[in-house]
Every structure is written in structure tokens, then in C-alpha cells.
């Protein structure tokens, strides 16, 4: 084994190699500490060539490779298994932005670039990279692409998959596929790009990408809206497309329970409205057209105010506040984005990242809350998510005072209650977080044999030694 | 063999089986008569179950299956090979629209539904299905999806791949994969949907699809614009995004040579402008916001007129006319859409369906025309296409009076000249038509070994007997 480690060192140097337990710890543990694995070493290549050399060495020595980005995933996709000969291959030294083309609306980046850096670089060139999610300050683009990340602007711009033109991938054999094409149309055979995107590193390692950019919005309106029900939230969104002239970029639904956790655990968080309500919507509209200033001032804020006023008369809105500046808007967003952090501080929880057709959200929430309470009467449901995508984080916080040991034995029953309902609604058991280690059994259970067999066939064909992130997505 | 045919008959009945040469002829010949193949039989199943039964029978008997939609393709993708034991499996009896959900913005259709029928059904429900191309009156959605069709609205709505939520596919083993999910987000393993989309029937047969719908535009402005150069066309488009408030839905570039062919060969075609110009743009803007009528009348037509006026002052526009009603707009579109028909009537041609980055179009056209003339000095270049997608049909009409026999020996040199240039521009040798039989050798030549090997590996894994549309995309 020390021989293997020295061969790794010969490729990546001392700077690229971590072998002590303390140094490896943050790479073999996920941030919620739900998964703790083992790694022979953590390897941090400096460029694509080194990634390929490491993978070729591992293929020859039959050592598995677990690619890892910012390690912010929620399903253990980037964590090695407890048993096995695995290394963690972290992309966190590959942080170069190698090209920015504002005219062609593209940016070419290495896999380890932090999402926020990409957003800021685009903004500095008067462009937008629309992927946005709570972990954006620490997640990296390679992980975002490998998991086909979603986030809060999918409604308008699509998932990560829709934000990419080209990829560079190191195959399980350690070859480099240069698919870094900046083309809008290219019908030349199988869609390898979309196969690697969302494959969670099980078919190869994404090392670089050509990202799409958009014009930067010049006018943004953000509101915090109390609504009587999820049904009202769906109706509010439905009417907003026309009222905003197709400029709705986010529509986040939150139940009161999650807000309470945020107010309790996150320093500085305050309730934007005076009353207490069961359901809230965080609404954002944005347009590339600048708002008019001066005597004739006007823009999305005024349109949003008029629309929310009408909606209040129709009983769809109970109370609302519109951010008057960016600071206020950020405070509203923080209430939404701190849900996961607050839940972690409160204690153990079971997470369900599910999706159904948007129009079915209200019925699903009613039935789902009943099903969850039936499975564990003392549970505390925490519901929030991207209502415009039909995607809810339909979570179950452990009963107050319960620790992990007491709560976890009930997790399976809660999962089964929710997932059975999701499947009966024609929905998905993983809308945006992926499968990782967490949902391998559920995927095999809820999807058809032909679908699982097809995935296994692809995995076996492209990675016959099963060395790329083994145990994730499907077992082979 | 008659035993095999009787087994087919037992599955699909007399109505679903064609065995006589005359009856088979239209199914084994493409519409340009560039490809003529042989088939043991033409089989026309009535539903997915029959498709699966036919494929299972063929798998057992080691007979290849060539799936076929409206047979309007330009690369021979739906035509059987000359030698081999193949059947054509036509989806043209599977023409049911099984669900339309205007609230959820989806439509579920069988593979054989004609594209125009889908467009009209969407319109009858105040919705838009944006896929639009010259063959829309006879191509079918299954073929559109299997080739990831492009067309004239990709600029705004994307390729066929972006217009689909879910698929049903019959695998090479004759199993049915039900992936008919109407979900906006679903991160559950490998992206099988995008693998089947654009695979030209080589990995399975698309039998049904859940399509996405959009709001129907309420205001459309269409203009015919003479421009001094492709460079001016790109600049005109670039400024139009802001001027139209992001409502540019089509931007088609055409050289004079193609217009001359249309005026000569298509009855009723007339030149919308009095002067003769080298380059034209067909511009369409559309919005879901209705135009105002009466005293305060206004909408996209007025905005377009103002924009074209400014562009004329800047020298980007030489002359222009804006359609005043739908009849006029249709006449302008007919000039564009009849290019392929007119070229066919004129005689033989070599087609290049290429793409490069949009900003590189002007330089590419200049160099490309020179390269084509160098390869065949007497050639008549016919250039038209979707300038906003970077996608040109950069064709070469045979010199006047040349027949196929005289022209075809020069085709390879013309192809090579164009494709070498495309590749040096980082472009694609098939932007929207696909690979089929026509470009298998070119694909293998111009793409990296690792890319072709990966495609072959996928093909061999999913279709180990190589029975699904063999010889298309990659040879295994």
C-alpha cells in the first residue's frame, strides 16, 4: 500500500496528497455527519492531466476513486464507503476560470471553482450564471454538474443540465474526453454530456465545463408573502407568469415550522411580518430591462405590488412585504436558505427531496403530512421548497428532545410512508439532491426493473471494474 | 423466412404488415431518393405492446429493426441498409394524443403523431408546442425526438430535447421502459431520456412522449430584411434581443442563390422586396402579451419597425418589409421553408448541416465559400439557416446542368473542404439533421477516438446483438 501511495505522490506531489487521519477526516465525512467513510488517501490533482494519471494508476491497481467537490451534498455521493480500497479524489485545487466570453455568453471553468466565484465573475462581466443554492459559498461547479443541481432559479433557467454547453471528462480508464464545445446545436451521436451530468461521478470525473451565461437582470423585485395554503401558493404563482410578463425567477414555499427553526437557531433572523401564518412564499421576479427612475419611476416592484394587492383581495395572500433594497432582499433570502442549517442545529431529521406535478402539490402536502404523522405521531414536519418546480423538501424533524439513537429506528417507516405516496402521485423520490449512498435501495425499490437494469448495463459497460464511485446510484 | 413473416402477421395483423415490393418502396427510400434499402417487411404496429412483441420476435430471430417515423430525414437514419436481414418498423399507425393538460402545460402523444397535428392541438388549447420545421406537415414526433430535431424556433425554445419531459421506449430486448414522467425535476440516476433522444433509434424505439407546452404567443411580428452581409445579420440579431425585450423567436439567414431557386421552382413564390440583394434575414419576434388595438395601438410590429429603422441608419439593413397579417407572414416563411424543396427540383446537391459559435458565422461563411469554390470551382453554394443557433445549411448545388453521375464524384472533396474548416472552427458537422447512414464515416473521422469508443461501448452494452437500426451513428 505504501508503494501505491508513493505512486500517487509521484503524480500529484506532496501538495496534492493527504494521508494522515486528521487531514483526511473532513474529506471522508459529510457536513451533516450522516456518512463517515474510509480512504487510503485524499488526492488533490492540480490539473486534468494529473486527474487522468491518478485514475489510470487506480485502474491498474484496482483502487476505487470517489470524486469530490465542495463536499456539501446531502446524500453521501462524495463520501467513500466504510469498507473497500478507495481514494477520495478532490477537485478543490482545480479552481481556474480559463475563459470568459461575455459576447458569446460562455465561461469555461475547472471543476473545483466555487459556485459563488462563478456567479461573481459573471456579474463582473454584466452577465448572469443563474445556478443558485444555499451552499453556493462552498459547493463547487464540478459537484453541481455531477449532481445536476437544482436550486432556487430552476423555474426560470432550468437545472444545472440546462446551464452547460460542453464538458471535459476523465473516463474510468483514465482517458480524457474533450467535449468542451461551445455550440448551441450539435446532433452528432449519443448525448454523452447529459449522461455524465448527474451521474454523480460513477461514470467518470468532470474536470472542466463550458457554462452558458445569461444577461444580468437589471430590475429585481423580492417579496415575502404569507398565504393561507399551498393551494393559494400554486394559484399565486400561476397568475404571476402573466402579471410579471414571464419574469418569475423564484417561488419558494415554506411552512411555519421551518421559519420557527430559523428564527430560533440563526442569529439575526427576524420575522418580516407581524402576524403568525402557516405558509409563506418567497417570490422573486427579475428582468433584464432596467427600471425607470425619476418622475415616471416604475418596474417590477410596482407590478408586483399591484399583483399582490389583487391577490390579497382574492384571498390568495394574507400579508406581504416587498424588499425596498438589496439588503432587505438578502435578509428575506437568508430566511429561506438557512432552513437546512437551522434544522441541523435543532437535531436529527429525515429529509425527503421529492417532486410531483406542480398542480398536485396541494393535495400531496395534505396527504403527505397525514402519512408522516401516521408513521410517527410525534414527528415535526418541516416543509419547504421550490413550488414552481413541483419540488418540496418534505422533511421530518425528530420529535423535540429525541436524539439520533431514538429517532433513527423510525426513519424507515417515515421514508416509506412519504415515498409510497410520492410514487402513487407519479413523482420522484429525488428531485434535486441525487441518489448517492442514501437512496440506492429506495431507487432500486421504486423504479422499474427495466430502468434499473438499463442503468446497471451502462455502468458495467463504461466502468467494467466498478472503480468509479462504487456503491452510488446503483449497485452492480 | 415466410415463417418469420407469419409470426409478424400474428402480432400486427394484415393491416400492420406490408410485404409486396411496391408497398414497401416508399418505406425503403428516403424522400430525396439518396438512399434505397431493402426490407424483409414493413411492420406497422398499432400500439406499444405490439412494438414490443415485434422487437422481441426480431431479437429471437436475429432480424434487425429500422424504426421509421414520417420518413422525412435527410441522412438516411430511417432507411434500411441495402444488405442484411432488416425490417422497417413504422410508427405511422400510432397516432393517438392520449392526454392534453393545458394547466400542467403537457401533452402525451404516441410516436406517430404528425408534428403539425401536435402544433394544432396545442393551439386549440391556447398553448404552443414550439418545434417547427419545413417538414412539419409530414414528419412525426417520434422521428423528431429520435433525431433531436431543431428547426426555426430553437433560438428561443431549444431543440426537441428541451421540449420533452418523459418518454416511453421499447428496448432492444423488447421490454417497455415507462419513463412517461411529467416532472420538472427528477435526479434519480442516469439520464436515460436524453440518451434515447437523438439516438436515431439505435438504442431502442421511442413509442410515446410527454411533451412540454408553452403559452401561445398573442403578438407576432415577422419581417423580411435585406442585409449587406452575414456580419450585419449577426449584429442585427445581437441588438434585437434587447429591442424586442427578449422576444426574438426566429432569425433565419438566407443567401440570394437559395432565394433564386425558390422563386424559380416554387409556384406562387414572389420576391417581397424590389431590389436584388446578396443576403436576407427572416426575423420573427413573438410575445405572450397581446398587442394593444385602437387609438393606443402598439406591440411588437411597432417595436420591430423602429428597430429596423435604426438598423438601416447604421447600415445593417438595406431594405425590409414587415408582414401586416398572417397571410403575408406565411408567404415570407414559405420562401424560407421551400429552400430544400427547390434545391431538390433544381437537381443534385451536397448538404452540410453545420454549426459554429454564433460570433464566428461571418468569418466561417467567407472562408467556407472560398473553400467550397476551391474544391469545385463550378459549384453553386446555397447558404441558409438558423443564424441565432450558429447553425447553417451550408450546401453546394451541382453546377447548372450537371447530373448526379457527374456531380457525385466531387462530393467527397467538397465535404472534406467544408468539414475540415468546421472542425478548425470548433464546430459540429451535424448540427440538427443527425448522422444516419450519411455521416457515419465523417463522425468517426472528425471526433476523438475516446468519444467514438464511448458511443460504441454504450451501443454494444444496450444492444449486444446490434439489431436496432444497425449501421447508423457508429459501426460496432
- Per-residue pLDDT band for B238 (boundaries 50, 70, 90) equals confident
Query: What CATH number does residue A197 fall under?
Result: 3.30.465.10
- B223 and B211 in one domain? no
Same domain, A235 and A203: no
Measured between CB atoms, does B178 come within 8 Å of chain A? yes
Q: Which of residues 321-350 of A touch B (CB under 8 A)?
A: none
Whether the Cβ atoms of residue B272 and residue B335 lie closer than 8 Å to each other? yes
Residue B342 in domain: no
The reply to whether residue A195 touches residue B197, judged by beta carbons under 8 angstroms, is no
A475 in B contact zone (CB under 8 Å): no
Q: Does A185 touch chain B (CB under 8 A)?
A: yes
Q: Which residues of A touch B462 (CB under 8 A)?
A: 454, 457-458, 461
| A44 in Cβ contact with A110 (< 8 Å) | no
State whether A406 and A464 are in the same domain. no
Residues 367-396 of A with CB under 8 A from B: 386, 389-391
A188 touches chain B (CB under 8 A): yes
Q: Is A53 or B388 the better-scoring residue by pLDDT? A: A53
Residue B295: the pLDDT is 72
pLDDT in tens, chain A (476 residues): 689 999 999 999 999 999 999 999 999 999 888 899 999 999 999 999 999 999 999 999 999 999 999 999 999 999 999 987 999 999 999 999 999 988 888 999 999 999 999 999 999 999 999 999 989 999 999 999 999 999 989 999 999 999 999 999 999 999 999 999 989 999 999 999 999 999 999 999 999 999 999 989 989 999 999 999 999 999 999 889 888 888 899 999 999 999 999 999 999 999 999 999 999 999 999 988 788 777 777 789 999 999 999 999 999 999 999 999 999 999 999 999 999 999 999 999 999 999 998 889 999 999 999 999 999 999 999 999 999 899 999 999 999 999 999 999 999 999 999 999 999 999 999 999 999 999 999 999 999 999 999 999 999 999 999 999 999 999 99
Q: Do A454 and B199 touch (CB under 8 A)?
A: no
Residues of B in contact with A150 (CB under 8 A): 185, 187
Residues A409 and B391: their CA atoms lie apart, in Å, by: 57
Check if B357 contacts A (Cβ < 8 Å). Answer: yes
Among A337, A366, A388, give the residue marking a domain's end. A337
Cβ within 8 Å, pair A183-B427? yes
Say which CATH number the domain at B46 has.
Answer: 3.30.43.10
Residues 232-251 of B with CB under 8 A from A: 241-242, 245-246
C-beta of residue A217 within 8 angstroms of C-beta of residue A288: yes
Helix axes B361-375, B411-424, angle to 10 degrees: 150
Distance from A291 to chain B by nearest Cα, in Å? 13
Which cell goes with A421?
A: 405516496
Number of domains in chain B: 5
A317 lies in the same domain as A226 = yes
Q: Which residue of A has its CA nearest to B447?
A: A188
A388 and A460 in a single domain? The answer is: no
Residues B58 and B110 in one domain: no
Q: Which of A247-251, B294-298, B331-335 has the lowest mean pLDDT?
A: B294-298
Which residue in chain B has the smallest CA separation from A243? B289
pTM: 0.94
Q: What is residue A210's three-state secondary structure?
A: strand
* 8 A C-beta contact, residue A66 and residue A39: yes
Q: Please tell me the predicted confidence (pLDDT) of residue A327.
A: 96
Distance from CA of A267 to the nearest CA of B (A): 33
Please give the backbone phi and psi of residue B238, each rounded to the nearest 5 degrees, phi first: -60, -45
Where among A185, A215, A245 does a domain terminate?
A: A215
Question: How many Å lie between the alpha carbon of A399 and the closest alpha carbon of chain B?
Answer: 29
Task: Give the one of A177, A242, A457 whose C-beta lies nearest to B454's C-beta.
Answer: A177
- A64-68 and A86-90 beta bridge pairing: parallel
Q: A155 lies in a domain?
A: yes
Asked, for residue A226, whether it belongs to a domain, the answer is yes
pLDDT at B167: 98
Report, as an integer, the average pLDDT of B141-151.
Answer: 96
Domain match, A233 and A302 both: yes
A377 and A299 together in one domain? no
Task: Please judge whether A432 and B185 are an interchain contact, meaning their C-beta atoms are less than 8 angstroms apart.
Answer: yes
In the beta sheet, which residues pair with residue A382?
A395
Find the Cα–Cα–Cα–Cα dihedral B122, B126, B127, B130, rounded to 10°: 80
Scan for cell 417590477, then name that residue.
Answer: A300
Cell numbers at residue B414, please? 467538397
Report residue B197: phi and psi, to 5°.
-65, 130
Q: Which residues of A touch B104 (CB under 8 A)?
A: 357-359
User: Is A342 part of a structural domain of the chain?
Assistant: no
The parent domain of residue A461 ranges over 439-476
Chain B residues in contact with A439 by the CB 8 A cut-off are 188
Are B469 and B415 contained in the same domain? Answer: no
The minimum CA-CA distance between B461 and chain A, rounded to whole Å, is 6
How many other C-beta atoms are found inside a 10 Å radius of the C-beta of residue A20?
Answer: 9
A237 lies in the same domain as A322: yes
Instruction: Check CB contact under 8 Å for A190 and B455.
Output: yes
- Residue A71 per-residue DSSP state: S
B15-73 pLDDT tens trace = 999 999 999 999 999 988 889 999 999 999 999 999 999 999 999 999 999 999 999 99
* A187/B198 touch (CB, cutoff 8 Å), yes or no: yes
pLDDT band at residue B356, thresholds of 50, 70 and 90? very high
Shared domain for B55 and B21, answered yes or no, is yes
Domain boundary pick from B277, B307, B337: B337
| CB-nearest partner of B185 from A150, A171, A457 | A150
**Domain CATH number, residue A399:** 3.30.70.2740
Q: What ipTM score was computed for the predicted complex, to two decimals?
A: 0.93
CA dist., res. B67 & res. B44, Å (int): 10
Q: What is the mean pLDDT of residues B119-146?
A: 96
Asked if B454's CB is within 8 angstroms of A457's CB, the reply is no
Q: CB–CB of A463/A67 below 8 Å?
A: no
pLDDT higher than threshold 90 for residue B246: no
> Which whole number is the average pLDDT over B344-370?
94
Q: Which helix (H) or strand (E) holds B351?
A: none
What are the grid coordinates assigned to B426, written together?
A: 470548433
Please indicate, yes or no, whether residues A210 and A101 belong to a single structural domain of this protein: yes
Amino acid at each position: 500500500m505504501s508503494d501505491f501511495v508513493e505512486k500517487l505522490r509521484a503524480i500529484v506531489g506532496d501538495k496534492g496528497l493527504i494521508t494522515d487521519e486528521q487531514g483526511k477526516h473532513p474529506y471522508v465525512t459529510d457536513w451533516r455527519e450522516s456518512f463517515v467513510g474510509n480512504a487510503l488517501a485524499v488526492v488533490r490533482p492540480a490539473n486534468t492531466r494529473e486527474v487522468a494519471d491518478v485514475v489510470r494508476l487506480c485502474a491498474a491497481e484496482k483502487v476505487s476513486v470517489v470524486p469530490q467537490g465542495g463536499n456539501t451534498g446531502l446524500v453521501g455521493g462524495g463520501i467513500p464507503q466504510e469498507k473497500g480500497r478507495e481514494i477520495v479524489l478532490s477537485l478543490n485545487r482545480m479552481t481556474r476560470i480559463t475563459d470568459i466570453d461575455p459576447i458569446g455568453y460562455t465561461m469555461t471553468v475547472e471543476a473545483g471553482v466555487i459556485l459563488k466565484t462563478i456567479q461573481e465573475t459573471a456579474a463582473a462581466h454584466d452577465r448572469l450564471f443563474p445556478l443558485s443554492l444555499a451552499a453556493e459559498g462552498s459547493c463547487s461547479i464540478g459537484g453541481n454538474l455531477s449532481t445536476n443541481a437544482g436550486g432556487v432559479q430552476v423555474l426560470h433557467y432550468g437545472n444545472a443540465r440546462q446551464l452547460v454547453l460542453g464538458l471535459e471528462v476523465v473516463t474510468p480508464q483514465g482517458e480524457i474526453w474533450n467535449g468542451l464545445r461551445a455550440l448551441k446545436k450539435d446532433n452528432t451521436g449519443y448525448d454523452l454530456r447529459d449522461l455524465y451530468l448527474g451521474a454523480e461521478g460513477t461514470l467518470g470525473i468532470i474536470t472542466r465545463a463550458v457554462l452558458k451565461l445569461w444577461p444580468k437582470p437589471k430590475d429585481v423585485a423580492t417579496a415575502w408573502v404569507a398565504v393561507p395554503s399551498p393551494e393559494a401558493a400554486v394559484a399565486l404563482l400561476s397568475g404571476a407568469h402573466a402579471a410579471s410578463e414571464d419574469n418569475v425567477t423564484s417561488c419558494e414555499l415554506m411552512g411555519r415550522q421551518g421559519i420557527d427553526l430559523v428564527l430560533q437557531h440563526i442569529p439575526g433572523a427576524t420575522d418580516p411580518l407581524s402576524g403568525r401564518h402557516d405558509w409563506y412564499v418567497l417570490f422573486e421576479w427579475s428582468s433584464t430591462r432596467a427600471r425607470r427612475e425619476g418622475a415616471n419611476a416604475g418596474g417590477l416592484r410596482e407590478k408586483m405590488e399591484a399583483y399582490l394587492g389583487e391577490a390579497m383581495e382574492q384571498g390568495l395572500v394574507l400579508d406581504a412585504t416587498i424588499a425596498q433594497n438589496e439588503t432587505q432582499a438578502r435578509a428575506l433570502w437568508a430566511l429561506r436558505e438557512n432552513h437546512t442549517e437551522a434544522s441541523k442545529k435543532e437535531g436529527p431529521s429525515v429529509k425527503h427531496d421529492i417532486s410531483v406535478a406542480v398542480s398536485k402539490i396541494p393535495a400531496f402536502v395534505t396527504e403527505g403530512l397525514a402519512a408522516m404523522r401516521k408513521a410517527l405521531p410525534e414527528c415535526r414536519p418541516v416543509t419547504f421548497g421550490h413550488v414552481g418546480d413541483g419540488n418540496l423538501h418534505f422533511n421530518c424533524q425528530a420529535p423535540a428532545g429525541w436524539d439520533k439513537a431514538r429517532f433513527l429506528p423510525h426513519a424507515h417507516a417515515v421514508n416509506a410512508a412519504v415515498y409510497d405516496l410520492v410514487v402513487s402521485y407519479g413523482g420522484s423520490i429525488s428531485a434535486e439532491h441525487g441518489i448517492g449512498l442514501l437512496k440506492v435501495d429506495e431507487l432500486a425499490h421504486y423504479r422499474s426493473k427495466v430502468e434499473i437494469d438499463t442503468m446497471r448495463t451502462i455502468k458495467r459497460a463504461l466502468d467494467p471494474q466498478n472503480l468509479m464511485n462504487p456503491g452510488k446510484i446503483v449497485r452492480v
